[in-house]
Chain A
Amino acid sequence: MEGGRTVRILVVGGGPAGLFFALLAKRAVPTATVQVREQNPPGVTYGWGVAFSESAAEALRPAAPDVVDALTAGMSHEEMVLSLDGTDVPVHVGRSFLNARWTLLAALERIAREAGVTVEHDAEATVSAAELTDWDLVVGADGVNSRTRERFAERFAPTEELGTNWLAWYGAPKAYPPSIILQNSDHGLLMSHASQFSPEMSNFTVEVGQETFDRLGFGEMTEEESRVVCEQLFAASLDGAPLRSNHSPWFQTKFLSCARWTHRNLVLIGDALHTVHPSIGSGTRFAMRDAVYLTTALAGAGWDVEVGLKEFERTRKPVADAFQAAAKRSIDWYEGLPGRTVTHPTKFALEYLMRTGRVSYRDFRRQNRDVVLGYERDLR
């Protein structure tokens, strides 16, 4: 930065992307002032557990080994289960790590603070046009409903596409391996994404198509009423376990991307910039990878913000776009499910695993010979 002045960085939003970038920036430039503004009080967040595949975690390791150690210290799974009307098909798709979202955030905040980052909670998590000049760099990491993005929407030109399925992110005190649970019912197809993220708790995200959503009247129910109905619908799978809410309203997937990534010295990262889909379990990793690319680009430019931000967009965009395309395929697949008849557990398992086009059939078959042998031999 010019004239040996201290680099001043403001990060709006203390989620995974914002905290991780703040940490990486502070470590890269120890003399920098790095401040994070977070609207929630410490320890308050939405949601339950977040997942990292082993490859996703390892991709982050060079940037911050201690963070990766923290996020791989908890729950890990070797297999996932595709369950159709009570028939389970276990498959090996590589190792995954899960953590409660609040545990991950607490670890990130602790490590960032230790590195010298300032984290302000209960803060007005936004930035005004006038304020931009107070900082060398402002990073908008304030999530899918980013007020930073909305304030400069004309510049970022975001496009949003709402999904046609409805989701609610519950927790359940039952041990689920990462699972996709499908149930054909009188109301239509019911889906759930479940995965254990702590010794006591699993995610249990319910997903239904619009028709089923309307038929069950979820649109008119309170969050609590919906939770009770979902608990009853999945009673067979939950086997006596309740569903729990943590700010778990129904939502439609918002598939968001921005035409431009920067405005002067302001840049968006994470969900504020572009989203993937809960179904590919990679939103947190995707956001944290933005932080890595941004730090690398800025460091390569000697922390010349103008040059660094251009480099960030140039290097990150092709990778991010490809990843988003895979997410789009996954969304389309889930949205197509309610209109189809899914009756064969192994066919469903194979179809699920091939849905993004990122898993080769040969690799899958090598790792899951028994499952595919069932597909090949049990033809009736």
Chain B
Amino acid sequence: MNISRRSLLGTAAAVSALPVARARAQSKPVFKIGVLNDQSGPYRDTGGTTSVICTQQAVDEFRSQMQGYDVQVITADHQNKPDVGAGIARQWFDQDGVDMITDVPNSGVALAVAGVAKEKNKLHVNSGAASSDITGLQCSYNTIHWTYDTWMLAQSTGGATVKAGGDSWFFITADYAFGHKLESDTTELIKAAKGKVLGSASYPFPGTTDFSSFLVQAQGSGAKVLGLANAGGDTINSIKQAKEFGLTMDIAALLMFITDVNALGLDVAGGLHLTESFYWDLNDKTRAFTNRVKPKTPNNWPNMAHAGCYAGSLHFMKAINHIGAAAAKKSGKAIADAMKALPTEDDCFGKGSVREDGRGMFNAYLFQVKTPKQSKGKWDYYNLVQTSTPDKAWRPLNAGGCPFIKA
């Protein structure tokens, strides 16, 4: 058998096509921020490209303050699959020089990424995911949980619903880490208030678009409140179909973003209560931030997850300044520790802090969605009902079960 020159060339070409192990260049250190989120599925408007834009905004604004380093932003789609997300994180940390991964909505993916960040001693500043386990049972020195979590949502939206007389609940739950944690955090609150959970239905996530059988189950249970332990496109579909099926129950959209309200329309969403830690029209600073970012994303204004990418990245860079680029490059934990030591301040969340377990401590705002009559135009969607200060809004430090917090 002859090996021709052609086949040798072909083999060489084939080998060079294999993904290569990269060498690192020596010059000004560049920190890379990887925005990992869902860019094509049910969470694409909740996170998606707007998160990348907000992260880039933070980098551009901070550039003049960077002390001897530069920052780059890259992005990828995790498709709501933990193995895909973990694979991208692993490759980013190993091969592509990424130092910090942010956003990561979908608690299952977030937990997987947190594991990889711990393994590689890099940093994970989560903005988009919800599970309170991220700073609780699964806490890590390398993960900071910025924007919100299931406990805060349960406390705010759940608490308000229970106080208004909703003492019997039926849950429709996305069957993965987030849905279950949101359901359990809210159930704890309901039981503490002497209420009852009459039943719950878990549905496969992602991929379920028809909630009719669960809604009918809910109606049949006789509960006063329909608790939606889901988010994004699922919440939108659940609410729309609830209206279609003439559901008479109160709807508690435990996690809803302004981007969801925009998709639903005020005629359907008006009157619903929800909790976010950021709203563009809250004060002068939030309005200023929104005006800076708006032109780049005119059809999808920032919600709290997007704002969290901005604020978290800003604080990340301040932390690098604090300990110096060399130390920051070596250890993600060192950056995290600095982020916990420094108080936070930005146009989106105001003054706040990051707690020992990685929990970001900011105000939580309970909003009620405006009816079409009350709204003056697009994105004018919320009336502020109640503000919870950090001491009340978040789960107490010792109650989370975080292994490195001494009880």
- Please determine whether chains A and B interact with each other in the same assembly: no
B: which residues have CB within 8 A of A? none
A: which residues have CB within 8 A of B? none
